[in-house]
Structure 1
Amino acid sequence: MEKEEDYKEWCNKFDRTSQSLKIMYKLKKMRENNEMCDFIIKTSDGKEFHVHKLVIHASIPYFNSFNQFYTHENEDKNTVTLDMLSPKAVELIINYIYEGRIDYFRDNILEIMYAADYLQMEPLRSEAIRELFNFEDKEMLFNDKIMTVIEFSIEKNEKAQKFYGKYFCEFSEKESFCLLSIKSLISILDKDYLDVPNEEFVYDSAMKWIYFDYENRKQFIIDIISILRIAFLDYSLIFDKLLTESTVINNDGTRKKIYEYLRICLEGSSKSEYIKNYSPERDNYQLTCITLDNSYSDSVVSVNMKKFVQQSRVWKTCLFELFHKTDHVTGIKYNNKIYFVQCDENEYYGHGVILDMDNQTTRRKTFTSNPRSGRAIAQFEDKIFTIGGIDMEGKNNSVECYNFRDNKVTSLAPIPNGIVNATSVVYGNHIYIIGGQTSQPLRTIKRYFILANSWEELDQMSYPRYKASAIVYKKQIFVIGGKNYNGILNNCEVYDIETRRWSSIPNMPYKRAGASLSIRQNFLHVVSGHGEASGQTMQYDLLQSKWYEGPALEDLSVMHIAV
């Protein structure tokens, strides 16, 4: 036997000593020295592992019935060939039995999981599944075959629920999604962090799951409706979709829940009151703002990411970070990073700052070849386009593209006649440059075809404006506020991309220029900017064409960017 020092050194790896551990250590060394080994496990490539029969039988439930492990060709009851498992997996399992631990890597974790499943080693299988989610490998975790092994664990595995919640839009399109049990499905759908565009998507995905095996799953419609955030469904969808679905209306429980919600609404309770008491928001339904506070110090700006929680009616800080002071910025979100790009005159206005929301880090970055004041900025796929703005030589027609992948800046076709202080949106393969000014405010809208590197001019707006705000919603461009000869504006226009026609919508309650826009749950949110009551957010109901006052911002001394 080995020296006591060797045993202590081995035990220290596990931070404890015990009689049973000492016995296992001795058995481990006996196997290494082939002492008293009375059982042989062979692999498909002929490799042999000499082990102790009692240890193997005690550790692997699959071996409890010894007679099943020999064939007519092999009458030796003390030898078994595990040709269903890879040689690598067999070796890892045997080492695990004698060592009490196993190292997981991307290239071995599936073999360990399949081997543990085949050998009925439940604790090891559960451990391997938990480790599998640490890799967040969609190719593996969306796989049908893998799902049949891991599905049972999702209900109690928070990492699994967070993974499928994070990538739910992709996951719901895979056949593996339809292999979930009702308990696993509910454990994913009922989370606030479920990343979906709207509650209709949740409902549609759940119905897809039901219709995959309709006769056996239709009974679970009550479970689906019970976790659906019904207050975040449009009334039209409730009447036209839910109440025309036979699976829903033929179930007494689901009808009762829907009618109860509608009754509360008809009695005069606001949707926000219902949300407060019965139906909390999902995290990505919440209005999210990035705040930049220049008052922190002379050289540092503090950045906070805040969410407005409808249920409690308060702003909740989710992230706080500091970086070098940066004024007059536009925020662009890409791959969960916020790119702050400076727009106005400043010593460093060719620069920007990248805020990594996942890692909570920042770094300064140059997005253009030369500084330009009053640029329009747009993001398309993995590129940032900077359009117009006055450079040091007085030119205002430059167009450049910064590529996230190679960190290079490329010059493109200049914008005709130049532009300063325009606003921009991206739709399809086009960038729309709206309003702006040269010697005077403009009514123009110009479209840049990204693939062809060319420009065209479209029909003009009703009002000239610069420093307006714009956002795309269902093939329409909403242009909000801005400035012109009369000062700050509260009028708004909508451009239909398909018909190429302009129309008006009701004026905002307050005049606003340079505001930040965001769309959540069929509401257009107007945040911050300059003008009347700049601390008051405004909400435009895109379905009812009405304006409402939204939650007030907490600190008017900071800049807010909706994301």
Structure 2
Amino acid sequence: MQEQKSSTPINHLNNYTTKLCVKLLTFSENGQFSDICIISSDGIKFNAHKCVLSAASDYFMAMFGGSLKESSSTEVKIHEINGKVLQLVLTFLYTGQIQLQSDTMKDILRAATFFQIQPLITECYNSMAENLDAKNCLEIALFANQHELLELYKKATKFASLNFEKICKENDILQLDEHQLGEIISSEELCVSSEEIVYLNLIKWMEHDKLNREQSAIKLLSRIRYWLLSPNFIKEHRSKLPKQMECFDMVCTWLEWHLLPECQKNTPMAFSKPIKPGLLFVGGGKIQTYDDKLNIWTIESFQNLPTSFMNVVAAKYKLIFAILSSRTLLSFDLQTHEVTNLPSRNGQSEYNGMVMLNDELYVFSKNSRLVEKFNFSTYKWHNVTPMNTIFVNPKAAIDDGNLYVVSSESSFMDIFSHATNDWTSKAVKDIPKLGFGFTEANGNLFIVGGREEIKSRYITKNNYFKKVQIYDQFVSMWKNFDEMKFALAEMYCTSWNKQLITCGGMDDTSTYLNLVQAYYPINFNYQSKYKWKTLSPLIEYKPNTSYGLVAIN
């Protein structure tokens, strides 16, 4: 028998798929083999095939693949979408192709979101981001804010900051709310030929709806860089300011600053220079900032900085404080030093932990599985899928876009996937009982230090740990890693410049230490030659004081 020669298969898949999609679309347009009629809000009918729609859209999959009455219907009316847009979207479902025009793009994006068609959502998002200009950037920012498209909102807002003078000529800023206008004029990307332009357009924004905007304008006026205005300009335009005393005081303060040289040595706190990003140790009404080039800490006091708090996290250029024994969350702006209250949460339980994930603030409730998240772009709270486990004292960390929650009293670790919006639980062992640190560094999760109470008949003794554990996600186990030089508990941990950082803590003599340590972890299979190193100590670290360690990269 003659041996057959092997041949390399020729890949015609792309051409085959294209022809197949076009044929299916032709069937739809001609009504061939159709088993469903989709009716738009304005009564236009489109023949379609349930299997094609279900394969391309989660919305239709839920409609036709479940027990809903539509699964056996031959007609379905879509009340939210008109015929022009529905035809374009259905064509995309069949062929994966669409022509995006500026006059229909937003309607198509709404429809793509409604039908849960992620490739079309991405296509619309990319097209909007690529075609930003001075005439449409604010409109797109408003649209993105309304529909919680965070990345698109960021790009549109940044574009508006870079082109502030152009958009002011279009008068589009008059439609912005306080939060959106504040983000633009406070942005480091703000590009103007003169600070006078910012000031005059802020006044114009206020006068457009003075009755409802005057109080907001007072807050926004504090973000003006008055040191860039001339004293003559301030005097000439002070009559346009709101009549409240705080505005009068602000104008007088800055006139003094301009006219009296000795005042310039003491810039008012509310207008002092922004705090630079980096490693910040916060507490006692002060912020200690680490300079890694000089290996030194500097310290600065702030009268309005919260002093009694349970936790602090960094959100962009803001510090978010959870106030002790309350449901209050305060925001401290590192650029303007302004303190504001975040809107009230939906849940009634007392706060019990928080963490930042994908520019959103996740908050845990006390003795509850309830989790809520705050979106800083929309400035709204949203409920999150409840945790599987009730944690008494949860500690949270972020790694690879997932949220990990552990606690000393639980033998489980709950893991939240941002992609699926769901929790899973993993059994874990050997977590210290008290005072351990929990953080991510260089793509790995770490548990650092901690202590355990050993009780005898007459005395209770604390056993402190040097050990550092790293999480091996492949076998769902914590493994021992390089030990610290000192046995510590109650320290503050974070990740900064790919390093694992600890600040403060208490040793086995119950002494509070101003110790600062750094470790550069490579991976959990390799014991690094770069052991723990001691950095310059904190300037101030007192017992019975609320502290927090944050890194702003």
TM-score scaled to structure 2, two decimals?
A: 0.43
Based on CA coordinates, which of the two structures has the bigger radius of gyration?
1
TM-score scaled to structure 1, two decimals?
A: 0.42
